[in-house]
Amino acid sequence: MQLEQTLVLIKPDALKNSSTGYILSLFSELHTGLRFAGLKVAHVHRMLAEEHYAEHKGKIFYPELIDYIMGKLHHQDSPDRRRVIAIVYEGHDAVRKVRDLAGPTDPNTAREEKPGTIRTLGAVIPVTPTDGRPPFHRMDNLIHASATLQEAEREIKLWFKPNDMVPGMRHFPTAEAAEHYYFLNDRVYTCHKPNSTCLLTPGDIAWKSDIEILEACVGQESPQVLLRCVAAKYLLNYRIAE
């Protein structure tokens, strides 16, 4: 069977409830045969949140979902406590094993149909928006888990640089940057611009697919959508987000 990798996020509600140890125990190598390939504590800024949940843009629950993963719902008055723990697990059948232990998206469904799964500990909270959207229920469900192998690759590359991961456990091709890449206002430059962020310097190791996107975006005038999924991880833990 193929050795897989999958991304888990321990979301802000789980950190606030001190469920981290319980979740890590359930996923432990003893129980699942899965191993850590990468792990970090992350203060999630808006660009990363929006990239992570891009498939849900436009849905009724999207604005609250972004605030949720940014930690704004669970730490309204203490931005410095807004964190998630991001983990890459590796092992046989990793995507399915982790999804099975996570349980159904809706914590009520988890309690009804999959007792013992992590999301049974979640909360379903009524929301009445004041911006014209109809009422709906928020699903605070403690963890994110990649749903497919394809999603796992996209998400691992979004949250982790190659050097954040154990060298022998990088599943995706890497390449060496040949230039400086600076990011400013959704554009990439190879020369420094005031207030820009330096994403890569020559010799840095990055995902090959990221370098290809950066190369394709250099000199492009219009904002590059793909660029955000590369830049987002370099802005992780950069400064406290709004």
Active site residues per annotation: 144
**22 near 131, Cβ under 8 Å?**
no
Candidates 138, 171, 180, 208; binder of ligand ADP (CB under 6 A) is: 138
> Least separation, in Å, of the C-beta of 56 and ligand ADP?
6
> Least separation, in Å, of the C-beta of 124 and Mg ion?
17
Amino acid at 111: R
Binding segment toward ligand ADP, per CB under 6 A, in 23-31, 86-94, 139-147, 203-211: 139-147
Q: For residue 97, what are its two tokens?
A: 């094993």
- Residue number with CB closer to ligand ADP (22 or 136): 136
Q: For residue 12, what are its two tokens?
A: 């802000």
Residue 8: which residues within 8 A CB-CB, separation 6 or more? 27, 86, 87, 88, 89, 98, 143, 144, 145, 146
> Least separation, in Å, of the C-beta of 68 and ligand ADP?
7
**43 near 241, Cβ under 8 Å?**
yes
> Least separation, in Å, of the C-beta of 157 and ligand ADP?
18
The interface mask with ligand ADP, positions 92-111, x = CB under 6 A, is -------------x------
The interface mask with ligand ADP, positions 56-75, x = CB under 6 A, is x----x---x----------
The Cα 236–Cα 227 span in angstroms is: 15
Closest CA to 17 of 141, 190, 104: 141
| Contact residues: ligand ADP, CB under 6 A | 56, 61, 65, 105, 136-139, 141, 144, 147
